Structure 1
Amino acid sequence: MQRSDISRRTVLAGAAGLATGAAVGLGRASAAPREPSAADRVTAITHVTVIDATGAPAKRDTTVVLRDGRILAVEPSRRIGVPAGAEVIDGRGRFLIPGLANMHNHTFDGEAIEPPLHIANGITTVRDMTANDDTSRWRREIEAGTRLGPRWTVGSPIVDGSPSLWEGLGAPYIAAATPEEGRATVRAQKDAGADFVKVYTRLSRPTFFAIADEARRQRIPFLGHVSDFVQLTEASDAGLASVEHLFQIWYDTSSREEELRRDITAVPIAGGEYNGWLNKMHPYEYAAARSYDRHKAAGVFARLARNGTRVTPTLVLHTFTDMPGDTPMNDPRYAYFPAATREFWAYALELIYLNGRTPEQDARGRELFERRLSLVNDLDRAGVPLLAGTDNGTSYLMPGFSLHDELARLSQAGLSTMRVLQTATVEPARYLGARDRGTIERGNVADLVLLDADPLRDIRNTTRINSVVVRGRVIGPTERQRMLADVKRAATAMPVPAQPKAATCPC
C-alpha cells in the first residue's frame, strides 16, 4: 500500500470518527451517532505553506484537513490525498497561520461593527478588559452558534482605588477604598462570571495586595495596571497575570527608583482625573525612562519571566499618547466606523491630548516612544512572554485593523517576525490555558487565517487576508468582502447620539 493511501485512509477514518462523536486522538469522549450537518463537512486546504507558530520552519506544499471545527491532518501534500466530497481550497502561493488574538480590547461600537471587523481581520480570540452587557451577550450567542464572532474572554469592571480616575466619566468601574472592599469585589466578580479581575492605577498598597490574595483564594486571575503605590516586581510576585501597557515598567528599572517613587506617590490626583494622571505622571515617567539601568532591568525581567507574568505592550496606544500630533486624519479604514465615533476621536484628540501641548512635549514624546521600542525588545530577549493587544476604545484605535498595526510596531521594536506572530497566537493560547489553540497542529481548533503573502518575510503581510476559518467555518474572499461592506453600510447608517461617548483612555 502506498504511503499516500495510508495517510488518506487515516484522514477518512478520523473524519468518520468525528462524524459519530468518537475520539480521534483529541481526548473527546465517545457519543451516540448523530445526523450529518454542515459541521460535518470536510475541508482540505491544499498545497499551502503552513506557518504553525510553534517556531518551526514554514512547512511548504502542505495539505491541512479540517472537520467538525478541528484540524484532522497537517501533512505534506505528496503524502496525503483529499477525502472524497471535501471542500477544497487551493493554497498554492498562500500562507496559513493560526487565528490571531487581541489581548487588550474595549468594546465601543456595537454588534454591527465589532464582531465582524474582528473576524474579517483574522482575529478569532479577544480578551475584553472591561465587563459590559454587549460582550457577555455576544459571547453567549457565539458559543451557541447563533452569531459569528471571536472567542471572547471578558473581565470585571475596572477595580480602582478611591478616588478613582474614572469618577464621573461614564465607564463602569468599582472603587475599592479598603482591603475589605477589595476582597468583596473579587468574590462578587467571580460570582458574576468574570473571567478575571481587572486592577487599576490608584489602588492603595493594602487594597492591591488584598485583591491579589483573594484572587488566589478564589482561583480567579487578576491583571491590569500596576498600582502607583506598588513595585512591578511586587505585583508579579503577588500573581499579577499580565501587565497592561508600558507606563509603570520604567520605575523598577530606573537607577533613580527610590527618588521617583517617593515623588509619584506624593502627586495629588483627584477623582475623574485620568488625563490629569497622564499629564502629571509624564515628567516622572520620562525621568525614569532616561535613567533606565540595563543591569537592574535584567534582574527585574528575569523575575517576571520566572513568575510567568505577561506584558501586553499596546505600542499602538503609546504611539497615540506619545505622539498624538502624528495621528493620521485620512486613514481609509475610518470609513468602517460611525460618524459619532470619528467625531469623538477628533474631540478627544484636540481637547485632551493636544490641548496645551508644547514642542518640548512633542520631542520628549518621540524620544520616549523610541525608548519604549527598546524596552519591548529587552523584555522579549529576557524571556518575558508578550501578548499582542491594542486598547481599542482609545481614539483612532480600531477593532480588527489596529491589531495588525500592533504587530507592525512589535516588529519595529526588533522582534523577529516569528516572535511577533507568536504574541498574537501561541502566547495568548498559553496564557488562556488553551492547549488546543494558537498553533496549527492535528487536533487543534480550526481557527486559521489564509494569507496571500508571507508574514515571516514582512509581518505587515498579515493584512493580506484571503480567507478566515472560524471553528472550521471558512469565510472565503467573497463572504469576507461582503462582511466588510456590511460593516461600512451599518456605520454610515448609525445616527449621532445626543449624548457623547465616554472618554477614551489607556485602560
Structure 2
Amino acid sequence: MSPDRTTPVPSGRTADDVTTYVGARVITGDGHTVLENAILTVRDGRIAHIAPAREAGESETGAPEGAGTVVPVHGKTIMPALVNPHGHLGYMRGTVSDPRHYSRDNVVDHLRRSLYFGVSTFQSLGTDLRDIEIGLRDDQRAGRLDDPDLATLLTAGAGIVAAPTADAGSGAPFFAVDAVHPATGPEDARAHVAALAARHVDAVKFWIDDRGGTAAKLSPRTAAAIVDEAHRHGLKAAAHIYTADDARTALDAGADILAHMPRDPEPDDELIRRLLDRDVAVFTSMSVQGPATTDWLDEPILHEVLPEKTIAAFRARLDEREHEPLFDTSRTYARLQRTVATLHAAGVRLVFSPDTGVFAQLPGMAEHRELQALVEAGIPALQAIEFATRRSAHLLGLDDRGLLEPGRRADLVILDADPRDDIRNTRRISSLVIAGRTVDRDRLRDRITEATA
C-alpha cells in the first residue's frame, strides 16, 4: 500500500488563509445532519469550525471573531465534494469509449471534468494501460504535477481476468482488453498482484464474469490466490461479479468489495448474511445499467463542457438504444432497484459506484446520475449523499475528506438549491472549494473545452 494517499494542498492560497462561509444550509455528509443558516470557517485548507449561526458566537456582521474573509452564501446549500471509488479513466473521448483514446492527456482531461462536476477524488479500478495512471498518481502525490484543476487520483493499476482459452474469449472489459492481466492460474495471478503491490497500487481489481457464456471465467482457486496475495500486501481486493453465484465465489475468496450488486438472481438471505458478517462493501453501480433515458442530456452543466453537436449525436444513439447494452436493461434494472432497497434495509455497507467512463457514464455527469438512480430506488437523499462522500472516502482510506466536520479537508460543493428537494440539484453548482481553495471553474471550463476542440 502506498504510504501516503494524500496530495499536496493546491497552490493559490497561503498557509494562514482563513475564510468563513455564512448563511448556507450545510449537509454534513453523515447521512442525516443538516445545519440551517450555518457558519463554516476554513483555516489552512481544513474545516476549523462549523455550527448553526446561533451557536457560533457571531458578531453583528453574522460572522465569528477571527473569521478572516467572509463569504455570504445565504440561501445556498453546502455539501461535501463527491468521492468516486469506481470508474475507468482515459478511454472515453466525447461520448465514445475506445482503447484508441487512451492516453495520459485523456486521463488528465477526465480528472479535470470530474473536478468541474464536484468530484474531489477518483479511483480508476483496474484498467490502467502501461502504468500511465500509476505514473500520473505518483506525480500528483509527489507535487511534481502542481495542477489545481485535477481531482485526486487513485488507481488499482492493471486488473486481472482469466486467460482466454480455445473455446472462450477474454472476460476483460471490451474497452480495455489490452490493459488487464490474463491470469493463467493461481501462481501467475499471485505474481501479478505482487508486482502491482511493488508499484503501490491503491487496490486490486479482478473480474469473475463469463460475459454471458462467451468468456473464460476466473476459477475459485485463482480468485482466492488474488485476494490472499493482495491481503499479504495490505491491499483491498475488489471483485467484479455478475451473478449471485459469482458473488459467493468472491466471498469464498475473501474479497473486500463487490464491484457490482448481484444482478441475477436477487440476493437471498444467506448471501446477505455473509455480506453482513464480514462487512463487505457492495458497490451500487446502478446508473450504468439503467434504461437509455436522454432527459439528463438537457442539464445545463453538461452543455458547459460538451459541444452541442456531440450531445445531439449522443442523444440520437441513446434514442435508438445503440449504447451497447450488456443485458436486458429493463428487467435487470428493476431487479437492481429491488436489490439496493433490500440490501440497504438489511444494513449491508452500500458504497457509491458510478462506473464512470463506459457506455453512457460521462466523466463528471455519471456521478450525479448515480445519485439520482439511488434516490429513485428509494434511498433517502441524505443517505445517498453519504454513500458518495463519507462512505466512499472511508473505503479508500481517505478519512481526511468526505464529511464536513472540524479537522477534515475543506472540500465543499456550494449548490444553488437543496438536493433534498430534488437530488438533481447536486448538478446546480454555484462554486467549488477543494482543500480550502476556491476552484476557478471558468478557467477549468476553458481548459476542458480547449482539450475537446
1:317-361: CA deviations, max 9, x gaps?
Answer: 101xxx45x557965737735899989979998999578x9xxx9
Deviation at 1:77, TM superposition (A): 2.3
The residue identity in structure 2 corresponding to 1:147 is: D
The structure whose Rg is larger is 1
Asked whether 1:424 is paired with 2:439, we answer no
Go from structure 1 to structure 2 and tell me whether the alpha carbon gap of 1:330 and 1:50 turns closer, same or farther (over 3 Å shift): closer
Residue aligning to 2:413: 449
Q: 1:165 is matched by which residue type in structure 2?
A: G
Matched, 1:124 2:120: yes
Give the gaps of 5 or more residues in structure 2: 1-11, 94-105, 165-169, 209-216
Structure number with higher helix proportion: 1
Distance 1:373 1:37, change over 3 A: closer
Contact 1:205–1:230, Cα closer than 8 Å, also in 2: no
CA contact (8 A) 1:142 1:150 kept: no
Shift of 1:245: 2.4
Aligned match for 1:385, one of 341, 349, 354: 349
**How far has the Cα of 1:440 moved from its partner?**
0.7
SS of 2:189's equivalent in the other structure is helix
- Which of 279, 282, 291 aligns to 1:308? It is 279
**Aligned equivalent of 2:198:** 191
RMSD: 3.3
Counterpart amino acid of residue 52 in structure 1? T
Q: Distance in 2 between matches of 1:223 and 1:449?
A: 29
CA contact (8 A) 1:179 1:211 kept: yes
Alignment of 1:87 onto 2:69: yes
**Contact 2:44 2:436 (8 Å CA) reproduced:** yes
Q: When the two structures are aligned, how many residues end up with a matched partner? A: 401
User: Partners in 1 of 2:296 and 2:29 — Cα distance?
Assistant: 35
* Mapped contact 1:208–1:227 kept (Cα < 8 A): no
Distance 1:411 1:238 in 2: 32
Q: Indicate whether 1:146 and 2:150 are aligned.
A: no
More displaced stretch, 222-231 vs 62-71? 222-231
Q: Which of 243, 246, 258 is residue 243 of structure 1 equivalent to?
A: 258
Could you tell me how far apart the structure 2 residues matched to 1:239 and 1:126 are? Answer: 24
Residues 105-504 of structure 1 mapped to structure 2, 5 A cutoff:
105-108=87-90, 109=93, 110=106, 113-129=109-125, 130-132=127-129, 133-143=131-141, 144=143, 146-148=146-148, 149-163=150-164, 164-166=170-172, 171-201=178-208, 202-226=217-241, 231-246=246-261, 249-250=262-263, 285=264, 288=265, 292=266, 297-319=268-290, 323-324=291-292, 326=293, 333=302, 336-337=305-306, 364-475=328-439, 479-491=440-452, 493=453
Equivalent-residue separation in structure 2 for 1:351 and 1:176 (angstroms)? 37
- How far residue 473 of structure 1 moved from its aligned partner, in angstroms, is 0.7
* TM-score for both structures, normalised by structure 1: 0.71
Deviations along 1:299-321, whole A, 9 cap, x unmatched? 322321221211112212101xx
Q: By how many angstroms is 1:197 displaced? A: 1.1
The one-letter code of the counterpart of 1:59 is: L
Q: Do 2:400 and 2:409's aligned partners in 1 also have CA atoms closer than 8 Å?
A: yes
Selected match of 2:18 from 33, 36, 42: 42
In structure 2, give the amino acid aligned to 1:136: I
Q: Percent identity?
A: 28
The DSSP-based 3-state class of the residue aligned with 1:386 is strand
- 1:301–1:353: structure 2 CA closer, same or farther, 3 Å change rule? farther
Higher-strand-fraction structure: 2
Maintained 8 Å contact 1:245/1:312:
yes
**1-side partners of 2:123 and 2:248: how far apart?**
24
What secondary structure, in the 3-state scheme, does the structure 2 residue paired with 1:424 have? helix
SS of 1:61 mapped into structure 2: strand
Q: CA deviation at 1:141?
A: 4.3
What is the TM-score of this pair, normalised by structure 2? Answer: 0.79
| Offset, 1:439 | 0.9
Distance 1:190 1:347 in 2: 44
Greater shift in the superposed pair: 203-212 or 482-491: 482-491
Gaps (5+ residues) in structure 1? Answer: 1-35, 251-284, 494-507
